[in-house]
Structure 1
Amino acid sequence: MNRRVLLLVLATSLGLGGCLRPDYRTAQLDATGTGSIGARYALAAGDKLRVIVFGQDNLSNIYAVDGGGRIAMPLIGVVQIGGQTTGQAARTIETKLAAGFVREPHVTVEVDAYRPFYILGEVTTSGQYPFVNGMTVETAVAIAAGFGPRAARDYAVLTREGKGGPTAGPGLEPTNEAGREKLVSGIVPMTYPVRPGDTIVIKERFF
């Protein structure tokens, strides 16, 4: 093969490689929050909360958030905290306790365990796994024991709940129920941050 033909083959290969690069679509996911989980994290079903009521050991415990975004505590019963931050949840509990149960209650709430993430598709062991703060898609693949033999290794499809915004369009998964949180999807690089409750799908490569 002469030099001219070799250069032509290389140019063609590079051109095809460029065409096959994934078209990342992260804008809608970015709007739901990226990076490490902080004080503005919205509590949701599956989270486990450590609630401390100072001076009230019988009320201080770990409580799981149920499917309706509620926890059940002694004395005050069901408390709706879904969508609130830990600080807001503490104030909500204080308000209920102050209504004839505890004088001047002081409450702190922190996340004991975040709701899990899910990874499916071309990984060795798909399923549900505990969330680790600061993790990426690449971390999630490692937790699932690595890629499968036919995995596309440079992108993933990530889906999460997101409030407001468009319900349809490129990279989006629409919802049919008005007023509920929408499932937002995007094509993301392996370095993309994962959040609690995310579903990651590793696709099969085509070559």
Structure 2
Amino acid sequence: MLLRPAFLLAITMLFSACAEKGAGPVLSSGERYVSSASAVSDYRLGVGDRVKVTVYNEPNLTGEFWVNPDGTISLPLIGNVPANNRPVGEIASDARARFADGYLRDPKVAMEVVVFRPFYILGEVSTPGQYPYVNGLTAMNAVALAKGFTPRANRDVIRIRRQGETEEVNYRLTPELIIYPGDTIRIGERFF
């Protein structure tokens, strides 16, 4: 009779070890759990983003521009402006200074993101793939875009790899969990 509880304990420990092997800690607080307004307020551009540049009283210089694969935005007259991993306001100031350097007298430049780079969702969702990012996107919204969980999906923990990083981080899946443009989300399989 004592063997049965010991056997059950050993099996439980074995499955727990399998479930946690290589998983790392599961985060349930931090920058991804703050309000969505502050999450994108310090947004930094990356390859695949499209911005609208408005140069006041200069319709030929105004337009929408993609961040190129080399991390720059090609603007008329001034050429390539470094944009990768820089906030929009900083890039607009840089463009304003370049336009003022021999091209325009007292230029006024505004810039806003019109298309964010996509995010990716893999694993135990009905339709994994690439999806367009929208401001304020949460992990639950991302799963909904991918047509929901499969029956085998782990609905408690998800793994997210931010664009430009090599490691995935485990997060507790809550309605407040924020997704950033370029993120790769992986929904794992549950064991029971």
TM-score, with length taken from structure 1: 0.74
Q: Does 1:56 align with 2:39?
A: no
Task: Write 1 or 2 for the structure with the bigger share of helix.
Answer: 2
The residue type equivalent to 1:115 in the other structure is R
Report the secondary structure of 1:82's partner residue.
coil
Superposition pairs of residues 50-89 of structure 1, within 5 angstroms: 50-89=52-91
| CA distance in 2 between partners of 1:153 and 1:33 (Å) | 17
Identity value in percent: 39
Q: Indicate yes or no: 2:103 matched with 1:101.
A: yes
SS at match of 1:148: coil
8 A Cα contact 2:28 2:172, kept in partner: no
Q: 2:185 is matched with which residue? A: 200
Deviation for aligned residue 1:25: 3.1
State the Cα RMSD in Å.
2.6
Q: CA deviation at 1:68?
A: 2.0
Conserved in 2, the CA contact under 8 Å of 1:39 and 1:86? no
Q: CA deviation at 1:182?
A: 3.5
Deviation of the 1:71 alpha carbon: 0.8
| 1:95-174 matched pairs, under 5 angstroms | 95-161=97-163
Counterpart pick for 2:170 among 187, 195, 203? 187
Relative to 1, partners in 2 of residues 1:33 and 1:49: Cα closer, same or farther, differing over 3 Å?
farther
Residue 184 of structure 1 deviates from its aligned partner by: 4.2
Paired residues, what number? 172
Tell me the alpha carbon deviations over residues 88-147 of structure 1, each in whole angstroms, 9 at most, x when there is no partner: 011011111112111111101111011111000111111111112222111100000111
Alignment TM-score, normalising by the size of structure 2? 0.79
Gaps of 5+ in 1: 1-7, 162-180
Q: Distance in 2 between matches of 1:96 and 1:189?
A: 45
1:31-55 deviation digits (Å, cap 9, x = unpaired): 6895424432111111110110001
Shift in alpha-carbon separation, 1:151–1:84, aligned structure 2, 3 A? same
Alpha-carbon distance in 2 for matches of 1:26, 1:183: 21
> How many Å separate the matches in 1 of 2:46 and 2:34?
17
Aligned letter for 1:91?
A: S
Kept in 1, the 8 Å contact 2:158–2:171? The answer is yes
* In structure 1, C-alpha distance between the alignment counterparts of 2:107 and 2:180, rounded to whole Å: 32
Determine if contact 1:120/1:201 at 8 Å carries over to the other structure.
yes
Structure 1 stretch displaced more, 183-192 or 53-62: 183-192
CA distance in 1, matches of 2:108, 2:41: 18
